[in-house]
Each structure stands twice: as structure tokens, then as C-alpha cells.
Structure 1
Amino acid sequence: MTEIADLTATQTLARIRGGTLTFEAVREALAARIAGREPVVRAFAHLNPAPAATAGPLHGVFFGVKDVLDTADQPSQYGSPIWAGWQPRADAACVAMARGAGAAIMGKSVTTEFATRFPGATTNPHNPAHTPGGSSSGSAAGVAAGFFHIGFGTQTAGSILRPAAYCGVVGFKPTYGTLPRGGMKVMSESLDTIGILARSVADCALAMGALTGADHSDPGVAPRPPRLALVGATGDTAALMHRVADACRAAGAEVVELTLPPVIAAGLEAHPWVMNMESVQALAWEFLTARDQLSPVLRERLAEAQAAPAARLAQARAAFFAAQNAFPAAIEGFDAVLTPSAPGEAPAGIHATGEPTFNSLWTLLHTPCISVPAGQGPQGLPLGVQIVTPRGQDAACLMWGEWVRRALA
């Protein structure tokens, strides 16, 4: 029998509504799991000692909030000593929306430094000698470990989808701008997107529906098998993607390898410049007044970006716009793109969080994308595969993500 702490949000709500489970029993089960595993996993930047909730569609669902999103009742420290002990007066908009829907906030989950490269202390719940990925490290690890049902994450390059893959959970990055960024420590105005990590696609649909009011109630109902564009099935990911493609074909999908046009590749090459040069702007106060408290890797990155001519940012943004405009035609005739979530299993060590090789493109294109578990690699650690749809097609992304997940089951 599945332990209470391992139930999905959807399963938890069904039991509460059926009278076989209570909010208090869920809270106690999650607290016991945290007490047993948090000393090793280290998913929390701050643990709420008494999470409570009001009535609503998410009553009984517990969230972890990435520590770049403000909370009125818990510190927001952004993964940096500069902000140690900082207590905002208000919740971030998405956190307030979750509370308004009846969710309980279990705590603040660990982020890398300002959601960039320098990692926190979180370990992978599947093997603590490996990274959980980043920058939404604590949210991914906390969901995987059974500490909370849903984790808020943010993505500038690959910060939702890569840790989801490494930790064996589902990560959903909606269309850019779907969840409001009020109360978020933003790093890149052109890129930063708030999303969620969960134990199932159905949980992602549940949470997004409750937060936005959109109808994502049943992602498991697909009208037919999809036509999928296979992108990135090369090198270390070739075996995984060919296995995934074969499973999808066996379930009735048409899968066709696709090479994206040069204009989209040019957008990807521009991504680091937009990300880094906008981060200089976002961290202007910290870089000016507390530079010695930034990690060496972030100081170097910001100094390099600050020295670049302003025209480079304008050129990089223009490359973004061109890629965004070209993408719909590039995948015309396909329902979704099928691509790796990460270069492989979670790397050993927790002093780096892996590379966003297969994520940055979709972030800059502002498309919805979802990572679903795709078995294990040679070290016994989780693998993931991404499903990507055009901007605004979030419901379709969830639906085809669930279709692929079932094809792989």
C-alpha cells in the first residue's frame, strides 16, 4: 500500500474528499518523512513549523516554494548570504494564488545562488552522491523525497526541466508569462518563467488549473496518437531517444526526426548573452554594494557581461525574436517536439548542477514544455524526456506529455 507521503496530489485530494484521509494526517505523514530524510536530502532553505491552509480546490496539497519567490511568513534569502534573514511583507503573486486555492506551504526550497549556477547543499534523493540539478534543486528533490506534493520552480535556462529529470519527477514550464512574476527575484526579464514540479502530469494539470483557472482537468484524454518531431537524438542521448521513439511508435504515434532551421540555432547561441546581460541589470545593487559576497563564478559571469557592449544585448534579443517567429513554421504538421530533458543521468557530486543543453532553446522560445520520467540510466538514476508545444498550447503540452508517459509505462 502506498504511504501517505508518496501519494500524488490528485490521489491525496481524492482520499480527503472520500473521507478516508484528513489534512492533519497528510501534514503529519509529510512531517515524518521530512524528519527522516531531510538531514541527507537538504531540500529546505526554511521549514514551516506549522503549515496551515484554508478551504479551496487544493486543500490538502502541500507546496514547496523555491527561495527566489517571496513569502510573507517565511524568510526569502535567494540562495545568497547577502539576503540572509530577509523577511518580505508579502507573498509572491503565485504563492498568494496557491494559498488562495487552499494549498499549504511546507517551506522554502533550496535554490542555487540567485537561481544561477552556484549550488546549495541539496542532494539527489535517489543517490545523495549526485546532484539534484538546479536551480530549482530543493523543489525537485522535495517532491521526489515525499516532502511536499508540488514545488514551485523557475527557469531561465533549464532550472525546472533538468532537475525534474535528474530527480525522476515531472516538471512543467508553462508558456512564458502564464504565472505572474510579482514577488520573484527576477534574473532575466526576457527568460524567467515560473513553473511547477510534481509527481505526475495530472498533478501539474491540477495545480495549473487551480492557479490560472484554465481547464487542465484531464490531460489523459488524447483524441488520437500524436505526430512527434524528434529533436536532439544524438550523442549520449541517442539510445534514450531511440528507445522513447520506438515506444511512442508502438503506441501508435508517428515520430519523425527533425532538424530545426539555422535561425532557431542562432537564437540558442544568443541565449547566454541575454541571460547574463539581463542578470547584470537584475543584480545591479548586489554587484555594486556586496560584490565580495557573490560567488566567484557569478562575479566573473557578471563582470564579463557588464563589459560587453550594449549593442550585443540588442542583437541577442533580436535573434530571440527571429527564432520565436520561426518556430511555428518549423514544426508545422507536428503536434509536439520530443527531445531529451538532460544530457543523461544526474552527474556525480553536488558542486555543480549539470548543463541545460536541451532546455535553453525552449525557454527562449517561450514555449510550454514538460519533462516526464523515462526510465533509468546505467547508474540506476532517473532519465527524462521533454515534450514541447507552441506558445499558448499549454493544455496540449500536458496532454501529449501524459500520452508519452503512458507510452513509456
Structure 2
Amino acid sequence: MEPNRLTATEAARAIAAGRLSPADLMEACLARAASREPAVNAFVHLDPAQARRGAAKARPGPLHGIPFGVKDVLDTADMPTGYGSPIWAGWRPRGDSAAVAAARAAGAVIMGKTVTTEFATRHPGATANPHNLAHTPGGSSSGSAAAVADFMLPLAFGTQTAGSIVRPAAYCGVVGYKPTYGALHRAGMKVMSESLDTIGVMARSVADCALAMAAMTGRTLGDPEAKPGRAPRLGLTLGQEPGKAAPETVALLRRVADQARKAGAEVVDFTLPPELLKAAETHPALMNMETAQSLAWELNEARAQLSPVLLDRMDWARSQPMAAFREARLAQSAAKLCFARATEGLDALLTPSAPGEAPEGLGWTGDATFNLLWTTLWGPNVTVPAGTGPKGLPLGVQLVGRIGEDAAVLGWARWLQAAMG
């Protein structure tokens, strides 16, 4: 197998055993990027010479020599950080973000900066879906999802405010892991929504996500490949807007639920309590009003360089009464408490990762309906590939867990993959 097609876990084992060098792994990844990047456009900054130097001096650690992509809303001291906006083009931070520093300390090699939508919001970059270049890879972690899916690198950072890790991972057919809120420190990130933004990872296996997060945080996330002593009890839901699920998504969820039952799981219908519906309803106000606070300088001093779609949302947010903001924050707090009670006795919720396949065209990155509520609740969300849709593009399903139960949710995600065959 070509080294760039190894998962991070496989590559780490090969490097530790002396069967593979960080230099050879990086060369394979760079060769893949050279052949595919002109079409996919996953990177906003990729300097092969710099990547080679990084591989040559990679630190020892659990991620020793593993190429890592960095979404361009996270600061890097040795690479430009533009936040997906012309306002910040060419900006070179003095230091790394906390997440990037943690990855380097664990031995990872930062290969390059991946494309993000404008400030990780709506206006898309140039990245295409590697499975079909006429379709979006999703957003806002567009480049990270595409680069991992297209075997340019095994690991990449994403960030999520509504659905920016889970949805593009599902659209591109990889694993996306949004951990419990705050698992990775956001210092050095261009934070948009103080109450929602969460840093996570994308990879080609659940084990890779656990490896990366454990290496960067020092937390024990277990071994998702270990067979659990029992089958899970899962709650089944189409979320707060079931009508937005495409027919293939409804059929997919039913099929996966049946496969889980055949493997021994108990799968029960889960009805969203009013508190969760309220949190989903007020998510746009919370997200956009906090984003308008974050972008105060850009809105006041560089308005002409913001996209029309972002300006529309920011002007709307600034026109809202502060009572709407307080209501959204209270709804979030109430929903987090409610979710813990409502899911007692369940190991996780099983729900779609996206409405359907990746939409055609690069002008829209898709609908976050099936993600925004779970992001609001602060617990872990994991999407795993679960088949293809009518156009042959990937579909995913996600597991949603309670705050702090990351190890369990990762383990059940891997169990579910095995159940799906």
C-alpha cells in the first residue's frame, strides 16, 4: 500500500517499528497532493520544502512523523493564517495556536493550511469534493475533509459552530470527530461563536481520531478497536427538522438501525423534548450574534472586504434585540441539562450526519440542520461513512453523546461501523 493511504494509526505503528520513515510518508503525501491539488484545491498554503524540513525534524511522540493539516482559522507561526478572508491575506502570526502547538509537541508534522470558508462561516473557498469535483466538500472545514478523503494526509483539524466538522466529513466519506466543547484549547483560533466553536479532527478511521485527540490532550480515550463487553442502547432520531432528510437518508438511518439491532443493540425511538427544540430554534441567533461581536473590527474597519452573504447575516444579527441573545443563551443552558436527563439509559443517539449527499456546485456548502443542535449541547459527535447515495457520493451517520463521554462515543462509533459490515 502507498504510504499516503495508510491511516494515521497504521502509519504511526510503521514508523515506530522502523518500517517507514517520516520523510518517506511525507513524500508520498506530497506526491498525492501534487497530482490532485490542482483539481481539489484543498490547501490554501502548501510549501513542499517546508513540509520536508518538518518531517526531517519531527519530534518523538505518539504522532511522530504524521502529516497533519491545519484549518486556516488556527494560527501557525511558520505559515500564513488568513481565516478565509482577503482582510487577513498574508498575515503571519508570531506563535502557533494551542491546538497546533499540541499537535507538534506530540510529534505531528504540519503539512499545510487547509481551505476554510470565510471566517469559518458561509462564503465558500475553492475546494471541490474529491469524489465528484462538481460537488461541494461541505464546510466550513472544506479543505481538511477533502485532503483527508483524497489521501493527501491522514489527519486534519476542523472546527465546528453548527456542522463544520461532521457535515463535510460525511460529504467526503471520512470520519469526523467534534469532541466535547473545550477539549482542545482555542487560544490562537479566530473564534466566531464563544458559546459554540469547538476544535476537532478528521481522519480515515475512528481509531485515528482517538489517537490524535489523546496525543494532543493527554486524555485517555481508550481503544475504539477493542470489542466492548456488550452492545449499545441507542436512541434513534431524525432531529428537529425530520422533513429535511432526503429519502436516501431516511432509508440509510433505518438500515443502519436494523444492522445495529442484528448485531445486538437495542435501538429505540427518541423524541426531542421541548427544551432541545427551543435550543435548535435559537441557535442561529446565538451563533450569528456572537459572530457579530467577534467580527466587530472587520465590520467597522474593513466592511467592503466581507462577502455579501456574511454581511447580510451580520447586519441581521446586529439588528436583533439583546433579549434574543439572552433567550438563546438560556435555551442552550436548559437544553444541556435536559439532554443529560432525557438520554439517561442510552449510550448515544443515532442520527443523520447531513440531509443527504453533497449538493452540486461549489457556491453552497450544505445545510447544518442535522448538526447544529448537537453542537449546541457541547457533547461529542462522531460521523462515520455509511454508504453512498443515488449519485454515488458518500453518506454518513453520526452518534451523539453526553458531555465528557467522548471515549464511549468513539467506541460505539467503531462498534457501529463493524455492525454495518
- After TM superposition, the score normalised by the length of structure 2 is 0.96
Identical aligned pairs, as a percentage? 62
DSSP-derived class of the 2:276 partner: helix
**What does 1:146-157 correspond to in 2, within 5 Å?**
146-157=151-162
* Aligned positions of 1:35-54 closer than 5 A: 35-49=34-48, 50-51=50-51, 52=54, 53-54=58-59
**CA RMSD of superposed structures (Å):** 0.9
Deviations 1:8-27 (A, max 9, x none): 00111111122221111101
Aligned AA (2:46)? L
| Aligned position for 2:281 | 269
* Residues 1:64 and 2:69 aligned together: yes
CA–CA distance in structure 2, aligned partners of residues 97 and 267 of structure 1: 32
**Kept after mapping to 1: 8 A contact 2:176/2:203:** yes
The answer as to whether partners of 1:62 and 1:150 remain within 8 angstroms in 2 is yes
8 A contact 2:222–2:407 mirrored in 1: no
Aligned twin of 1:224 = 230
Q: 1:20 aligns to what?
A: 19
Is contact 1:5-1:33 (8 Å) kept? yes
Tell me how far 1:220 sits from its aligned partner: 2.2
Q: CA deviation at 1:208?
A: 0.8
Q: Which residue of 2 aligns with 1:257?
A: 269
How far residue 217 of structure 1 moved from its aligned partner, in angstroms, is 4.0
Question: What secondary structure is seen at the aligned counterpart in 2 of 1:105?
Answer: strand
Residue pairs, 1:5-404, within 5 angstroms: 5-49=4-48, 50-51=50-51, 52=54, 53-221=58-226, 222-232=228-238, 234=242, 235-236=245-246, 237-404=249-416
Instruction: List alignment gaps of at least 5 residues for structure 1.
Output: none
> Distance in 2 between the 1:342 and 1:37 partners?
26
Q: CA deviation at 1:48?
A: 3.1
- Separation in structure 1 between the aligned mates of residue 262 and residue 354 of structure 2, nearest angstrom: 24
Aligned AA (1:227): R
Q: Is the 8 A contact 1:371 1:386 kept in 2?
A: yes
Contact 1:48–1:105 under 8 Å retained in 2: no
- Structure 2 counterpart of 1:22, which letter? S
Question: 1:334 Cα deviation (Å)?
Answer: 0.7
What are the ranges of 5 or more consecutive residues in structure 2 without an aligned counterpart? none
Tell me the amino acid that sits aligned with residue 86 of structure 1: W
> Any idea what the Cα deviations from partners look like across 1:141-175, whole Å, max 9, x if unmatched?
01011111111000000000000000000000000
- Count the aligned residue pairs: 408
Q: Which amino acid aligns with 2:406?
A: D
Point out the more displaced range, 338-347 or 52-61.
52-61
**Partners in 2 of 1:182 and 1:272 — Cα distance?**
24
The one-letter code matched in structure 1 to 2:414 is E
Give, as a single letter, the amino acid of the residue that structure 2 aligns with 1:78.
Y
Matching residue's letter, 1:143: V
Runs ≥4 residues deviating over 4 A: none
| CA contact 1:48–1:74 (8 Å) conserved in 2 | no
Q: Give the TM-score normalised by the residue count of structure 1.
A: 0.98
SS in 1 for 2:234: strand
Which amino acid is 2:34 matched to?
A
**TM-superposition CA deviations, 1:292-319 (whole Å, max 9, x none):** 1000000010001101111110111111
Most deviating of 208-217 and 344-353 = 208-217
